[in-house]
Chain A
Amino acid sequence: MNFNSTGNNFGAGTISFRSHQEENFVVLNAKFTYNPESPEYQAADVLEIYVPDLSIDRSAISGVFLRFRDVRDSYGYTWDNSGGTVVKSWIKDKNTLCIEKFPNFDEKGEITIYILALYTMLARGGNPIKGTKVRLQTSQETQYLRWGSDTFFVEFENWIFLHMQFGSCTYAYRDSPWECNLDNLPSGITADLPFCGGGNQYNPSVDGISEAHIENGVFTCQTRTAGFEDTGHDPFIFAFLVRDVEE
Chain B
Amino acid sequence: MQALPSIAFGGFSGSAKGVTARQVGGRTILSVKSFPTGQTTVAQVVRRASLTKISKSYKLLSDSQMLEWERLAEHCSGASVFGQKAKLTGANLYVRLNANRVMAGEAIISDAPASQVAVPNVSYSQVAITPQLIVFSGIDHESSPYKLVVKMSGSQSAGISNGWSKTVIISSEVEDDWGEADVTKLYLKTIGVEPTPGQKVFIESYWVDTSTGFTGQIFKDSVIVTGESSFTPRKRVTMDRLNPNYEQHVSAIEVDFSSAAPVVQYDVMCLGHSNVASSEVNLEDDLPVELQGTSWAIGRGNGEDGKIVAQSYVMWLYGARYGDPAKITFAHRGGYYVKPTEVFGPGVIY
A interface list, Cβ under 8 A from B: 22, 24-25, 57-58, 60-63, 65, 84-88, 92-93, 104, 117-133, 150, 154, 156, 161, 163, 165, 196-197, 199, 204-207, 209, 232-236, 238, 240
- Per-residue interface assignment for chain B, residues 317 to 345, with 1 indicating a CB less than 8 Å from any chain A CB and 0 otherwise: 00000000000000001111100000011
Among B56-64, B96-104, B287-295, the stretch that binds chain A is B287-295
B348 at the interface (CB under 8 A from A): yes
The 9 closest A-B pairs by CB, nearest first: A236-B334, A126-B260, A124-B260, A123-B178, A25-B261, A63-B298, A86-B310, A63-B345, A122-B178
Q: Give B45 Cβ to nearest chain A Cβ, in Å.
A: 36
A238, B346: Cβ atoms under 8 Å? no
Given the interface contacts A118-B263, A130-B262, A233-B336, does A84 sit within 8 Å of B310 by beta carbon? yes
Contacts of A124 on B, CB cut-off 8 Å?
Answer: 258-261
B334, A235: Cβ atoms under 8 Å? yes
A128, B349: Cβ atoms under 8 Å? yes
CA distance A65 to B309 in the complex (A): 11
A22, B261: Cβ atoms under 8 Å? yes
Contacts of A58 on B, CB cut-off 8 Å?
Answer: 141, 143
Q: Which chain A residue lies CB-closest to B139? A: A123
Q: Give A232 Cβ to nearest chain B Cβ, in Å.
A: 6
Contacts of B262 on A, CB cut-off 8 Å?
Answer: 25, 128-131, 154, 156
Contacts of A130 on B, CB cut-off 8 Å?
Answer: 262, 290, 293, 349-350
B312, A236: Cβ atoms under 8 Å? yes
A238, B298: Cβ atoms under 8 Å? yes
Q: Which chain B residue lies CB-closest to A134? A: B350
B251-307 contacts to A, CB under 8 A, are 256-265, 267, 290-291, 293-294, 296, 298-301, 306-307
A128, B259: Cβ atoms under 8 Å? yes
Q: Give B237 Cβ to nearest chain A Cβ, in Å.
A: 13
B179 at the interface (CB under 8 A from A): yes
Q: Give A239 Cβ to nearest chain B Cβ, in Å.
A: 10
- Per-residue interface assignment for chain B, residues 161 to 189, with 1 indicating a CB less than 8 Å from any chain A CB and 0 otherwise: 00000000000000001111000000000
CA distance A9 to B114 in the complex (A): 24
5 additional contacts, CB 8 Å, given A57-B141, A60-B265, A60-B346? A120-B259, A124-B258, A127-B258, A128-B263, A236-B333
Contact of B234 among A92, A123, A133 (CB under 8 A): A123
Contacts of B300 on A, CB cut-off 8 Å?
Answer: 63, 85-87
B135 at the interface (CB under 8 A from A): no
A161, B348: Cβ atoms under 8 Å? yes
CA distance A127 to B260 in the complex (A): 5
B235 at the interface (CB under 8 A from A): yes
B108 at the interface (CB under 8 A from A): no
B179, A123: Cβ atoms under 8 Å? yes
Q: List 21 A-B contacts (CB under 8 A).
A: A84-B310, A85-B309, A118-B261, A122-B265, A123-B180, A125-B258, A127-B257, A127-B260, A128-B259, A129-B261, A130-B350, A196-B335, A197-B334, A197-B335, A205-B308, A206-B310, A232-B337, A233-B336, A235-B335, A236-B335, A238-B334
Output the residue of B265, B346, B349 with the most chain A CB within 10 A: B346
Contacts of A118 on B, CB cut-off 8 Å?
Answer: 261, 263, 346
A61, B310: Cβ atoms under 8 Å? no
Q: Give B338 Cβ to nearest chain A Cβ, in Å.
A: 10
Q: Give B260 Cβ to nearest chain A Cβ, in Å.
A: 3
A121, B334: Cβ atoms under 8 Å? no
- Per-residue interface assignment for chain B, residues 15 to 48, with 1 indicating a CB less than 8 Å from any chain A CB and 0 otherwise: 0000000000000000000000000000000000
Contacts of A232 on B, CB cut-off 8 Å?
Answer: 336-337
CA distance A127 to B264 in the complex (A): 9
Given the interface contacts A85-B310, A122-B265, does A131 sit within 8 Å of B235 by beta carbon? no
Given the interface contacts A133-B294, A133-B350, does A127 sit within 8 Å of B235 by beta carbon? yes
Q: Give A46 Cβ to nearest chain B Cβ, in Å.
A: 12
Contacts of A156 on B, CB cut-off 8 Å?
Answer: 262
B314 at the interface (CB under 8 A from A): yes
Q: Give B277 Cβ to nearest chain A Cβ, in Å.
A: 9
Contact of A154 among B307, B308, B337, B348 (CB under 8 A): B348
